[in-house]
Structure 1
């Protein structure tokens, strides 16, 4: 008997759940969900079954056939700060278990938004973010990607709202009293102001891909298998439809590269600004930050990344978070191939260059804890959110790109398609991947140090920074800036956000305040609508202790909740000696803004402030 995952109580001696049927009642005034969770095993089982929970109130565990109580216990009494509490149920030949539970208002997976926090200011909104280990705060489950599940869900919600899920929509209808299953009082369940939305996920997915959003939603058609959804604000929907107009072309490019698209729909949901990530690859319904709507289609590169997950991550999944690079390294490689096919080599080259910059920064971030510069790492006792970084993405990309360079792209493409066909709908680890690699590319271990790449710290000597024409031009302009010259307008007239982002991230951190002001006077980068550009510029301004821009820093930190922006700006404010004024600014901004941050983002920023303030 042993755990299958350092972030789960799931025991290797216990059977996996194969299907979950959920009945969920959403109570917006209390920011809670009452749930009946029916877990189905592959076969009848006798003995203890252990499930993961976090901040759940368990009111009953029942045999669903007889509705008789089943013995259960929650432990430890003081929940583990990373993985929560285990729910252990004693079975005697059952193949199903019914758990009645209720979420906490502080559920780590859920953000409840009051009407003033939404686009339209009229109705409330709620959405999930279950990656990496947050599904357990919505319903009890074996919350490990090693356990793939199919599911169905009935969502009882206020009738003026609508719901979307990472599943097929089956219908919308009035609720029935028999559906309550002890979730809540029948009268409450069946009020005239309630409606039930039904969904089904017919392919087995890891629990972290469970997702829903509920609010005042509208949509635009952007392709034969893609709608873009958002709160029903026409300006947002129209802008998103324009930004993501290439989606069907990207899907076709993905199919040509990686094989059939197995999820039928590829819909997109633009969430409120508090969403903590750029995107989340929930099958059939990708979640996106509104900061991707830039007006130049460059935001679609994140869509390409989430689309690539349809093959690498959703079809083939890392067995646990120690092997997260199998999801993200493969997907970063696949994303850049899609971008190259649809938007051209220059766009892909810029993405690779920006990825290299980010990877070098992460090596510096983890210089005192090199474990997290590995691909195959040990995260036992570590919250995955605390060590989330670009390492799995871009070191993973570099590893796969190194293999491609060794054997050539045609051979690598054949290998890639065979890899996907072999492991689809499975969860694997690094050793399984390496065995498959050596079996299908004989002698590769003699050409590339596979152990150094997967288990070594830092960057291997055969990692490579891509040099392209556009990158060389940017570097030359950086060199001129270091000599006191601001780029001329004709030199940057064709630049989009990625060029400016790479330029700013290539500048030395010791830029003088006068240089910062001169650059901004020409190009107003501090006010850019592209947050990648704005945040890169504001980091330089903070490093230069250019207090003129602290109002813009505050505005940015209050506008968005994406961790890609929050983490570097708060860190820049508090890191280093003699920055008491900046630390006070950070504390004040966080106090004002944290109510609008997702629980995951809030926890990350609290940790940064606790470390440096």
Structure 2
């Protein structure tokens, strides 16, 4: 059922796991135990996923005697799945305990020195388990189909605080000299990739009755101002999709090395600090992670082959929330960005069209390697096409019933299609559903975004392209004057659509020099705008911006920025740019999350002809 897990689906699935985790910052390891409760008693060989774990023992915990259990762990590490752990259960039991220690190189963990944290006083650690990385923290059936409840006791230095994707129960002080224990409970069943933990110097600010923002002390107040409207956003989402089932929607703003815009961990969403700009322009990231509370967290894809069920639905839901907040004219800008992103992926996967399908075949494929905007954007445009065909009221009723039927379950694409066709008989006569799901590329009936605002922005893009193809200084100056008039009413989103729609490479760097001197894009406080401009500068070999590119690559580890900036420098055919990429990565590498390191290493190897592509492309 899942090409990325050793889990045997003819066996029972885990009901709950009780974790005890000792965080050793000096050795950068977690020493832990996991007490498993199965859905009913089982005997025979029980299979779990691990990656680089030292398994120190296994015991039958169903009785006070805790008899040792024999186990085998594969000596060879599969490049995608890791190592298979097989417990030998000689008689029926519903509980067993495993003792383990993580590796300092665990793919889900980033350990930060005090110098890498904002205060400089204490170290910091955080997890990222999507897609296959929970198995590097504790043994588990590491597939989205295996939902489980958990409790956790997190043993940390006394001066620190821990947060999790779970309800905080209590803090126990002075458990041992200089140590404290934070106790958590997650009563709703979640897939393993939503397991989340962070510990360090963490403060918090209240946002509303159900929401709070956490972060390092130096940034938490700015984050609270940025996300002040969160409670209202939750209410708008509930009006669209039904009751919020996770009690709280708290957020943790992580250090700059966090490799994603956000991660939808229930009860404790993780966010990049790059969304804190001061003008609340990062609200769409929060809207996306909030929407996951229904589509992704509540209803989950059964495997990576069905990833669009998470991200296509969530992107559609995010844009419905943004439409309520900002109106139809402005939400078209989000669809415009999505269309641009989709077209980039068509080019990226031109030799691997399998990965422009919604339902993919990822047998022997690392899901991180083919992570892209396809499930987000093609999935969203498919749902918008269905909405346009059946009417919004009918589609809203469909969504309500879909969420009610499959809540707290993991499903595959075929289960969704049965439900769709039962609900809308004859839908295939109006929409070529199989073409959308099983064939590559974007179908010709995809609803292209339209609005007056979007058309004006794209009009300025078209004029830029004309100017850049045949540079004439006088004509270019006139264009700059007209652009200065046009942007007087622009917000950050218009600028983002404009910059991300421009050619990635321009013939005359004089154009970039003038654009930057007028609008100061290379040092914009909005990271999306800054990087969009610097990507063009990198691809064009605009050396005047190389210091700004270096600064950006040293400051943040978000893969939405790293991949296009490094790619631009490496593909620019400018020796100075290629040398800069190698120099910066050698210095910045220790600051990046393990997943981000592999992205850039893949790009470097691809440039040297040693591999096909860098891994991962973040939305």
TM-score normalized by structure 2?
A: 0.94
Question: Among residues 190, 203, 206, which one is paired with 1:218 in the alignment?
Answer: 203
Written as runs of structure 1 = structure 2, the 5 A alignment for 1:504-583 is 504-511=499-506, 512-575=508-571, 578-583=573-578
The superposition leaves residues 90-121 of structure 1 with CA deviations (integer Å, 9 ceiling, x where unpaired) of 11211111000000111000000110000110
Question: Among residues 590, 594, 599, which one is paired with 1:604 in the alignment?
Answer: 599
The superposition leaves residues 251-274 of structure 1 with CA deviations (integer Å, 9 ceiling, x where unpaired) of 011100000000000001000000
Is the 8 Å Cα contact of residues 110 and 129 (structure 1) preserved in structure 2? yes
Q: CA deviation at 1:579?
A: 4.1
The superposition leaves residues 380-406 of structure 1 with CA deviations (integer Å, 9 ceiling, x where unpaired) of 111111111110000000100000010
Q: Which runs of 5+ in 2 are unaligned?
A: 468-475, 609-619
Is the 8 Å Cα contact of residues 398 and 464 (structure 1) preserved in structure 2? yes
The answer for the alignment partner of 1:5 in structure 2 is: 2
Question: Among residues 584, 587, 591, which one is paired with 1:592 in the alignment?
Answer: 587
Aligned partners of 1:47, 1:26: CA distance in 2, in Å? Answer: 33
The superposition leaves residues 53-105 of structure 1 with CA deviations (integer Å, 9 ceiling, x where unpaired) of 00100110111122221110011x22001110010001121111100000011
- SS of 1:78's partner is coil
The superposition leaves residues 516-562 of structure 1 with CA deviations (integer Å, 9 ceiling, x where unpaired) of 11100100000011111111101111222111111111110111000
Written as runs of structure 1 = structure 2, the 5 A alignment for 1:449-488 is 449-481=432-464, 482-483=466-467, 484=476, 485-486=479-480, 487-488=482-483
Aligned partners of 1:494, 1:119: CA distance in 2, in Å? Answer: 35
Aligned partners of 2:576, 2:183: CA distance in 1, in Å? Answer: 52
The answer for the alignment partner of 2:56 in structure 1 is: 59
What's the RMSD between the two structures over aligned residues?
Answer: 1.1
Aligned partners of 1:579, 1:366: CA distance in 2, in Å? Answer: 25
Is the 8 Å Cα contact of residues 378 and 442 (structure 2) preserved in structure 1? yes
The superposition leaves residues 198-254 of structure 1 with CA deviations (integer Å, 9 ceiling, x where unpaired) of 000000010100001101111111111110000122xx1121111111111110111
Is the 8 Å Cα contact of residues 149 and 204 (structure 1) preserved in structure 2? yes
What is the aligned length? 592
Is the 8 Å Cα contact of residues 253 and 271 (structure 2) preserved in structure 1? yes
Aligned partners of 1:604, 1:96: CA distance in 2, in Å? Answer: 39
Q: CA deviation at 1:464?
A: 2.6
In the alignment, does 2:428 pair up with 1:445? Answer: yes
The answer for the alignment partner of 1:424 in structure 2 is: 407
Written as runs of structure 1 = structure 2, the 5 A alignment for 1:313-462 is 313-462=296-445
The answer for the alignment partner of 2:612 in structure 1 is: none
Aligned partners of 1:122, 1:493: CA distance in 2, in Å? Answer: 43
Is the 8 Å Cα contact of residues 553 and 588 (structure 2) preserved in structure 1? yes
Q: CA deviation at 1:471?
A: 0.9
- SS of 2:100's partner is strand
In the alignment, does 2:489 pair up with 1:494? Answer: yes
In the alignment, does 2:138 pair up with 1:139? Answer: yes
Q: CA deviation at 1:489?
A: 2.7
- SS of 1:173's partner is strand
Aligned partners of 1:331, 1:448: CA distance in 2, in Å? Answer: 21
- SS of 2:255's partner is coil
Aligned partners of 2:210, 2:88: CA distance in 1, in Å? Answer: 44
Written as runs of structure 1 = structure 2, the 5 A alignment for 1:6-405 is 6-64=3-61, 65=63, 66-75=65-74, 77-91=75-89, 92-174=91-173, 190-233=175-218, 236-405=219-388
Is the 8 Å Cα contact of residues 253 and 338 (structure 1) preserved in structure 2? yes
Aligned partners of 2:92, 2:537: CA distance in 1, in Å? Answer: 65
Aligned partners of 1:463, 1:573: CA distance in 2, in Å? Answer: 34
Aligned partners of 2:201, 2:421: CA distance in 1, in Å? Answer: 51
Is the 8 Å Cα contact of residues 330 and 453 (structure 2) preserved in structure 1? no
Evaluate the alpha carbon distance shift between residue 597 and residue 510 of structure 1 in structure 2; reply closer, same or farther with a 3 A threshold. closer
- SS of 1:80's partner is coil
Is the 8 Å Cα contact of residues 553 and 562 (structure 2) preserved in structure 1? yes
Aligned partners of 1:479, 1:373: CA distance in 2, in Å? Answer: 27
Aligned partners of 1:319, 1:446: CA distance in 2, in Å? Answer: 28
Is the 8 Å Cα contact of residues 296 and 496 (structure 1) preserved in structure 2? no
Q: CA deviation at 1:583?
A: 2.1
Evaluate the alpha carbon distance shift between residue 346 and residue 297 of structure 1 in structure 2; reply closer, same or farther with a 3 A threshold. farther
- SS of 2:557's partner is coil
Q: Which runs of 5+ in 1 are unaligned?
A: 176-189
Aligned partners of 2:329, 2:517: CA distance in 1, in Å? Answer: 28
- SS of 1:442's partner is coil
Aligned partners of 1:262, 1:401: CA distance in 2, in Å? Answer: 25
Q: CA deviation at 1:490?
A: 3.0
- SS of 1:467's partner is coil
Aligned partners of 1:96, 1:371: CA distance in 2, in Å? Answer: 42
Aligned partners of 1:174, 1:516: CA distance in 2, in Å? Answer: 57
The superposition leaves residues 573-612 of structure 1 with CA deviations (integer Å, 9 ceiling, x where unpaired) of 1136x44432222111111101000011111111111111
Q: CA deviation at 1:508?
A: 2.4
Is the 8 Å Cα contact of residues 385 and 604 (structure 1) preserved in structure 2? no
Is the 8 Å Cα contact of residues 308 and 331 (structure 1) preserved in structure 2? yes
- SS of 1:30's partner is coil
Is the 8 Å Cα contact of residues 541 and 569 (structure 2) preserved in structure 1? no
